[in-house]
């Protein structure tokens, strides 16, 4: 898949369709984890997390990051509908 051309016809490398700089692999997951850990008693929707991280067009990627954090044992699904995520309580 080739990069999407910008207005001037030149390919845009390293940017999302919304024009944001692409993060390295795993970086969004770590940002989500840090935000959840900073507010351990608060549930967040994917949109709230994306907005808090300055990536409002990344709700789907935030959901994927949260699912991975749940699988890794670092987060919990606080509510299934609507989806809300929280840092896993430390024992």
Least confident of 10-14, 31-35, 40-44, 65-69: 10-14
**Rounded mean pLDDT, 54-82:** 96
Give pTM, 2 decimals.
Answer: 0.79
Distance set, CA 52 to CA 73, 79, 90 (Å) = 22, 19, 23
pLDDT computed for residue 3 by the predictor: 47
pLDDT computed for residue 22 by the predictor: 86
Q: What is the DSSP letter of 74?
A: S
- The fold adopted by the segment(s) 27-87 is Arc Repressor Mutant, subunit A (1.10.10)
The residue ranges of DSSP E strands in 1-91, in sequence order, are 75-79, 84-87
20-32 per-position pLDDT tens digit: 788 999 999 999 9
């Amino acid at each position: 898949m080739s990069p999407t051309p910008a207005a001037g016809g030149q390919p845009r490398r390293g940017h999302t369709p919304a024009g944001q700089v692409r993060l390295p692999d795993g970086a969004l997951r770590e940002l989500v984890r840090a935000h959840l850990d900073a507010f351990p008693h608060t549930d967040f929707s994917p949109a709230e997390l994306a907005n808090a991280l300055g990536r409002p067009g990344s709700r789907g990627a935030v959901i994927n990051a949260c699912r991975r954090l749940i699988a890794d044992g670092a987060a919990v699904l606080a509510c299934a509908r609507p989806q809300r995520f929280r840092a896993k309580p430390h024992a």
